[in-house]
Structure 1
Amino acid sequence: PSFDEDIRDLHLLYDYDAEGADGKPEKWRYEMWFFSENRIVYSIHGGPMAGRLNYQTVAFQCIRPGELWQCNWLEETGTIVSLVYDIKNAKITTMIGFSKGHWEHPEDAHGDKRNPEDYA
């Protein structure tokens, strides 16, 4: 499998159909960049975690060369993510598990971990 040919420097932007705290439909936008074989950068633009920007160590797995890749990671905060990217169908499927603390205090999850003030 070729990471370089299939997904290196791939920039993905996708929206989740979700429901806001008021019960109304809304979009939760996520963005990521697969820039190396063991790191990504992602940003969350919608939903309770909007404003979160992160670079993360990840594990990529090629399921079918040229067709299907999986990207998984565990963050320092306990957040777990598993993402499958279907190249041929241009489809992303994810499972994200935020900690209870993130859901109870989502504003504390915002920011960029490269900024010490955002970790305070």
Structure 2
Amino acid sequence: MTQHNDLTRKFKTLDDFLGTHFIYTYDNGWGYEWYAKNDHTVDYRIHGGMVAGRWVKDQPAHINMLTEGIYKVAWTEPTGTDVALDFVPNELKLNGTIFFPNWVEEHPEITVCFQNEHIDLMEEAREKYATYPKLVVPEFATITYMAKAGQDNDEVIAKAPYAGMTDDIREGKFYDENYLQL
């Protein structure tokens, strides 16, 4: 069993943030797993909430350090969903705002998949169904796992989420000492 979780790690620079793998839970109970793959790309899995079961690789994103140890990440998905995250890892907190198009609120099941294999379906649904009004979900979250996985590690988010996955990761039962899946 390999343990990577380091909740005491201190962040100062953008390089400290890049290559980090996080698990966090929003105050509303929604569970997310998120990886700063590099300075312009993120991968993530959704473990709880309206679109639990969804996972995405190579999502282009704007990743910036606002000040020492505080990071802003924002992107727009092919679904038309906009996401803005403010990470404060030194305090194990983040604030996220998700702007779901009306169609995602009305038909979340369409998005619960490995998005990369269904981009055409996401774009088709975005054109077919109503975008407005948007469902705005602003929430604080508590970070329960963070580990340095290294940049551009395609093993971090490489399979669909399953019940108990985040517990397996936190307990050191998912990745080996090189941060490759067991």
Name the TM-score, length of structure 2 as normaliser.
Answer: 0.56
User: 2:18 aligned to 1, 4, 8, which one?
Assistant: 8
Looking at structure 1, the residues matched to 77 and 71 of structure 2 have their Cα atoms a distance apart, in angstroms, of 20
Which amino acid letter does the alignment assign opposite residue 100 of structure 1?
N
The structure whose residues are more often helix, as a share, is 2
Q: What root-mean-square deviation, in Å, do the aligned CA atoms of Structure 1 and Structure 2 show?
A: 2.0
Indicate the percent of aligned positions where both proteins have the same amino acid: 30
Q: Which residue of 1 aligns with 2:63?
A: 60
Looking at structure 2, the residues matched to 87 and 50 of structure 1 have their Cα atoms a distance apart, in angstroms, of 23
Is contact 1:111–1:118 with CA below 8 Å preserved after alignment? no
Q: Which residue of 2 aligns with 1:119?
A: 121
Structure 1: stretches of 5+ with no match in the other structure: 19-26
Aligned pairs for 1:9-88 within 5 A:
9-18=19-28, 27-55=29-57, 56-65=59-68, 67-88=69-90
Distance change in 2, residues 1:84/1:116 (3 Å): closer
Q: Residue 110 of structure 1: CA displacement?
A: 0.6
Pick the structure with greater CA Rg. 2
Q: Which residue of 2 aligns with 1:101?
A: 103
Structure 2: stretches of 5+ with no match in the other structure: 1-11, 123-182
Looking at structure 2, the residues matched to 82 and 52 of structure 1 have their Cα atoms a distance apart, in angstroms, of 18
Aligned length: 110
Which amino acid letter does the alignment assign opposite residue 3 of structure 1?
L
Q: Which residue of 2 aligns with 1:110?
A: 112
Higher relative contact order, chain-length normalized (CA < 8 Å, sep 6+): 2
Name the TM-score, length of structure 1 as normaliser.
Answer: 0.82
Q: Which residue of 2 aligns with 1:21?
A: none
Q: Residue 116 of structure 1: CA displacement?
A: 4.2
Is contact 1:43–1:51 with CA below 8 Å preserved after alignment? yes
CA deviations 1:4-63 (Å, max 9, x no partner) are 2x2121111111233xxxxxxxx2101100011100001111112001101210001111
Looking at structure 1, the residues matched to 89 and 31 of structure 2 have their Cα atoms a distance apart, in angstroms, of 19
The structure whose residues are more often strand, as a share, is 1
